[in-house]
Amino acid sequence: MQVFNFVGRRILFAIITLLAVSAVVFTIFSLLPFDPAALSCGQRCTDQIIEGNRIKLGYDKPLYIQYLLFLSGIFLGRSYGTGSAAFSCPAPSFGYSFNENRCVSSLLAEALPVTVNLALGALIIWLIAGVSLGLIAARFKGRWPDTTSSIFVLLGTSLPTFVTGLALLIWVTIKWKLVPLSVIGYTPLYENPVKFFQFFILPWITLAIAYAALYTRFTRAAVLETLGEDYIRTARAKGVKERTVLFKHTMRAVFAPIITLAGLDFAGLIGGAIITETIFNLPGLGRLTLRSTFEFDLPIVLATTILAATVVILMNLIIDMLYAVLDPRVRI
């Protein structure tokens, strides 16, 4: 009962936050000094066409009606225009992009899997690399493994992704020809695993290096702090093996904050790993956002912004619930 209360409260809170975020973002974009109706008009534009587009796209209505139409479009789909020129975007509709002449939702549907795969793969790599390096550094504090890992941490945190990404591209792809140039495009994992990995391996490594460095530092500090805890001394006093002290007692305590950090970083990446996606020419959300921003394609920017906010809120919800599983003190 209490568990349901906890989860229910969190879900309700997430929904309210999402509504607030979408309203704010929608308002900001409506106040921008761009006329979406004019932008949707081609080169040979007349005031008449603009006015027609305005009515067709619903920009003639008051702001709150526009917002409600936008919201209802997400759940019910939306149709534009009348008669033979009418077209519709099925639910979930996030609007229509005249630049692309497509529903925003179908653009998102193409870009989202690329970004999710990019973020997920990188997450797995950096978690494994970062946590194990951090653990080794803490275990051999002050000795050569610790020193070596601190060099990695320094490089990883100070090298920007456009440097590591480009370096990987130049050496691994062009000079050593270990991975074919990513002109092959995105292939889902279930269609062709080899192409999938060839497509993603360098972007994964690029992102993972930066984050693994942060996680190495974080894990090392957390492990060292936990090793100084009284309950670790208790475990040793029981005669527990040093290996068990490290991998069971210490890691159990370090796990929860790492999960929190990983969830938030993952959510941040879904919002767009713009630099990495641009360097490796990945058709993901980051690049979609960047391109639409330059083209003033507001419906797309609005949709990706709300999507990014949604992912952050959802991840927070998931982390909160995971935390309740991981830390008995949080359970109410």
Partner 1 sequence: MAHILAVNDLHVTFPTDDGLVRAVDGVSLSLNEGQTLAIVGESGSGKTVTGLSIMGLHKRGATQISGSILIKDGDREIDIVSSSEEEIRMLRGGTVAMIFQDPMSSLHPYYRIGNQLAEAFLVHNPGKKKQAKARAIEMLDLVGISEPAVRADEYPHQFSGGMRQRVMIAMALMNSPRVLIADEPTTALDVTVQAQILILLKSLQKEFHMGILLITHDLGVVAQVADDVSVMYGGKIVETGTADGVFYQPKAPYTLGLLKSVPRISTHGSDRLKAIAGQPPSLINLPTGCAFAPRCEYSSHAPTDACATLRPQLLGKSPSHLSRCHVDESTRDSIFVKELKQVRP
Q: Does 241 bind partner 1 (CB under 8 A)?
A: yes
Q: Which of 131, 168, 222, 235 binds partner 1 (CB under 8 A)?
A: 235
Output the smallest distance, CB 64 to partner 1, in A: 48
Of 250 and 292, which CB lies nearer to partner 1 in the complex structure? 250
- One-letter amino acid at 190 equals Y
The H or E element that residue 88 is part of is strand 87-89
213 exposed, middle or buried (CB, 10 Å; 0-12, 13-18, 19+)?
buried
Q: Does 83 bind partner 1 (CB under 8 A)?
A: no
Q: Does 238 bind partner 1 (CB under 8 A)?
A: yes
Q: Does 225 bind partner 1 (CB under 8 A)?
A: no
- One-letter amino acid at 310 equals T
Q: 3-state DSSP call for residue 327?
A: coil
Output the smallest distance, CB 202 to partner 1, in A: 38
Q: Does 229 bind partner 1 (CB under 8 A)?
A: yes
Judged by CB under 8 A, which stretch of 67-75, 195-203, 206-214, 224-232 contacts partner 1? 224-232
d(CA 102, CA 299): 11
Q: What x-and-dash track marks residues 183-222 binding partner 1 by CB under 8 A?
A: ----------------------------------------
- One-letter amino acid at 137 equals A
Judged by CB under 8 A, which stretch of 37-45, 77-85, 174-182, 241-249 contacts partner 1? 241-249
From 136, 292, 269, select the one nearest 203 (Cα to Cα).
269
- Residues 168-182 as b/e (b if ≥16 CB within 10 A, e otherwise) read bbeeebeeeeebeeb
Contact 264, 319 (CB under 8 A): yes
From 16, 9, 7, 91, select the one nearest 313 (Cα to Cα).
16
Judged by CB under 8 A, which stretch of 16-24, 129-137, 238-246, 276-284 contacts partner 1? 238-246
Output the smallest distance, CB 242 to partner 1, in A: 8
Of 34 and 331, which CB lies nearer to partner 1 in the complex structure? 331
Structure tokens at 206: 């690029």
Contacts within 8 Å (CB) and 24+ apart, 7-15: 7/321, 10/317, 10/320, 10/321, 11/317, 14/313, 14/314, 14/316, 14/317
Q: Does 326 bind partner 1 (CB under 8 A)?
A: yes
Q: Which of 100, 146, 295, 327 binds partner 1 (CB under 8 A)?
A: 327
Q: Where on the chain is the footprint of partner 1 (CB under 8 A)?
A: 229-231, 233-242, 249, 252-253, 326-329
